[in-house]
Chain A
Amino acid sequence: MNKQFLFGLFLCLILSSSIFSQSNQDTSVSDISLLTYVENESVALNREVVYIVQLSWQGELGRYKISDVLDPDVTNLIVRGSGSSNKVITNSDGKEISTKRITFYFRPVEMGMAYINGVTIRYKDTLLDQNESLLAGRISVKIIDPIPGSSSNNILQYVVYVIIILVIGLGVYLFVLYNKRKKENALEELENIKETTEKKYLRLLKETIHLAGNNYKEKLHDLTHLLIGFFSEKYSTSLSNLSSKDILKYIEYREIEPKIYAKIIEFMTKSDLIRFAGNTVNETDFHQLYDSVEWILEKSKNDNSEKEDE
């Protein structure tokens, strides 16, 4: 029904335009004709009204030059944009028919009737060098309830696309963030382990080697093995089966502060003398050796922290 109506309207418009045109134009001078129509007589509120103005004449396209097309005067519509196109065809008589088409796009404002009150087209007849104008008639369009259609689908599609992009972006961001956090955690864990080695041995020193009491020779043996155990754990190797000389040689090739290394040598030398040379050890000597180990552990901890800060 809609198609029939459109066809009818189309014919009316042609006739009306031709009549109007004829009334405003001298065809003997110029056989230009104007046709105006809308794509749909009734348009949903959420759709566009497409208004077409078509000029056609016999002869070359350059015969008429459109100098000005004023925006149509409209009611209940807002101009959204316009476009134009040219076309030249040859009819069955072998004559050239040139067509210039101008399309206007309107957005309905509210439901009810909307009107395109006409449009004035100014043109120049290049053959006769005359300026002329044509005025299209008024066309009404019924604005009906909004319907779900392709435009809303498009919007929905855009929204979906945007959401997908956002989700992917978020995923990438989260992945990067996760990896970064993972690395940070691993580093933190490593730092904790390092820190734990020094802290652990400081704790072991306090827990297992008691300053009070006697049998300092035996305690010194334990103290020395605690220090060797610390270096074994720190450098992830077994040093317990090496002699003092080999242990010192091993430590020398590590990045160790010279002061700490000197203290280790001092301690190991004294310890060897007491443990293997039959030297006696009194309470004061033992306290000094104990302090040396504590100092080495503390300094190693600080040394580590400084290196990490760097």
Chain B
Amino acid sequence: MNPDIKAINEKIIKESEFTEKITNEISKVIVGQSYMVERLLIGLLSNGHILLEGVPGLAKTLTVNTLSSTIKTKFQRIQFTPDLLPADLLGTLIFNQKDGEFTTKKGPIFSNIILADEINRSPAKVQSALLEAMQERQVTIGENTFKLEDPFLVLATQNPIEQEGTYPLPEAQVDRFMLKINVGYPSPEEELEIIRRTTKSNEVQVNAVVTPQDINKARNVVKEVYVDEKIEKYIVDIVFATREPEKYGLEDLNELINYGASPRASIYLTLAAKAHAFLQRRGYVTPEDVRSIGMDVLRHRIILSYEAEAEEIGTEDVIRKVLNRVEVP
């Protein structure tokens, strides 16, 4: 099969225009953080939920807020607190005394973009309710099942430094996030710009520059991005190297990894690589796309052993080793 790369490229050029508009609108508010913005777009384009992790004050929430402002769609911010209940999130049945019937009161999850702020502050039952909805893209209230709106994107944030009063997400549930992004500090130049922008009185107006239809069209083009068999094999090799490191000459990782990445990692790695290629205005995936997105896809899918913890080896170290070892096609 010879894909028509030229045609795909043309489609990409046509359908990817909005990505630049979104980036420009976000940059009106957010200084730097281009890496995070690019990953958010990848999530948006490949219909994958994103977990943002970083210390407070790195504009995680602001970025997601701004992103949602650029899309003509419904946005809900849910502040996760210890007393939050699943019904507060999903909705509930309310008895109408007048009619003598139960009516459904839909929760804030019935929106297009959900900002689950500080997701690890709520207990497991709430997290579970959200994560189930994320996976199934439907919610059952009473006897009725409701399909969630499309696009449906959950952008969750969590703070890695505070452990008191938090409920860390179980590994199986974290796995449902397509990307886990570690948000880093801005550079000194960026920080100077942040000071200048935030200490002035003028308010910046962020415009909605894209519709859900545009996003759906772009998503369809992303699906068309060509992935060669060699790239598919490369993705599988990377994922397998986390499960059976010794087969890839990574015997030293054997003791460090308890559980390797799941098949969901392969799926998301392929999808994210396609979205990355789309953002590069390229109709085919190269190993570069896989490598550049690999860390964010695999970071939360590998469970390390106590030995790794004792040796202060993190998942990022392991992934780096894997990416540097698995032969690029």
Report which A residues bind B (CB closer than 8 A): 221, 240-246, 272-273, 275-280
Residue B230 interfacial (CB < 8 Å): yes
Q: B228 touching A276 by the CB < 8 A rule?
A: yes
Q: A275-B230, A278-B2 are in contact. List 12 more A-B contacts (CB 8 A).
A: A240-B328, A241-B326, A243-B288, A244-B286, A244-B287, A245-B288, A272-B286, A273-B5, A276-B230, A277-B3, A277-B283, A278-B1
Q: Which residues of B contact A245 (CB under 8 A)?
A: 286, 288
Number of interchain pairs (Cβ within 8 Å): 54
Q: Which residues of A contact B1 (CB under 8 A)?
A: 278
Q: B5 touching A279 by the CB < 8 A rule?
A: yes
Q: B327 touching A276 by the CB < 8 A rule?
A: no
Q: Which residues of B contact A240 (CB under 8 A)?
A: 327-328
Q: B328 touching A243 by the CB < 8 A rule?
A: yes
Report which B residues bind A (CB closer than 8 A): 1-3, 5, 226, 228, 230-231, 283-288, 291, 323-329
With known contacts A241-B324, A275-B230, A276-B231, A221–B329 Cβ distance under 8 A: yes
| Alpha-carbon distance between A171 and B255 when the two chains are bound, in angstroms | 59
Q: B228 touching A275 by the CB < 8 A rule?
A: yes
| Alpha-carbon distance between A276 and B328 when the two chains are bound, in angstroms | 12
- Shortest Cβ distance from residue A141 to the other chain B in the assembled complex, whole angstroms: 98
Q: Which residues of B contact A280 (CB under 8 A)?
A: 2
| Alpha-carbon distance between A64 and B148 when the two chains are bound, in angstroms | 143
- Shortest Cβ distance from residue B236 to the other chain A in the assembled complex, whole angstroms: 16
Q: A278 touching B284 by the CB < 8 A rule?
A: yes
With known contacts A240-B328, A241-B323, A243-B328, A278–B228 Cβ distance under 8 A: yes
Which of A276, A277, A278 has the most chain B CB within a 10 Å cutoff? A276
Residue in contact with A246 in the complex, picked from B3, B285, B288, B329, CB distance below 8 Å: B288
Q: B329 touching A278 by the CB < 8 A rule?
A: no
| Alpha-carbon distance between A273 and B323 when the two chains are bound, in angstroms | 22
Q: B3 touching A241 by the CB < 8 A rule?
A: no
- Shortest Cβ distance from residue B301 to the other chain A in the assembled complex, whole angstroms: 21
Q: A243 touching B287 by the CB < 8 A rule?
A: yes
| Alpha-carbon distance between A90 and B132 when the two chains are bound, in angstroms | 134
7 residue pairs of the A-B complex, CB under 8 angstroms, read A243-B287, A244-B286, A275-B230, A276-B228, A277-B5, A278-B5, A278-B228
With known contacts A277-B3, A277-B284, A278-B2, A241–B328 Cβ distance under 8 A: yes
Residue in contact with B329 in the complex, picked from A273, A275, A277, CB distance below 8 Å: A275
Q: Which residues of A contact B230 (CB under 8 A)?
A: 221, 275-276
| Alpha-carbon distance between A275 and B14 when the two chains are bound, in angstroms | 25
Q: B325 touching A277 by the CB < 8 A rule?
A: no
Q: Which residue of chain A is the closest to B3 with respect to CB atoms?
A: A278
With known contacts A277-B228, A278-B226, A244–B5 Cβ distance under 8 A: no
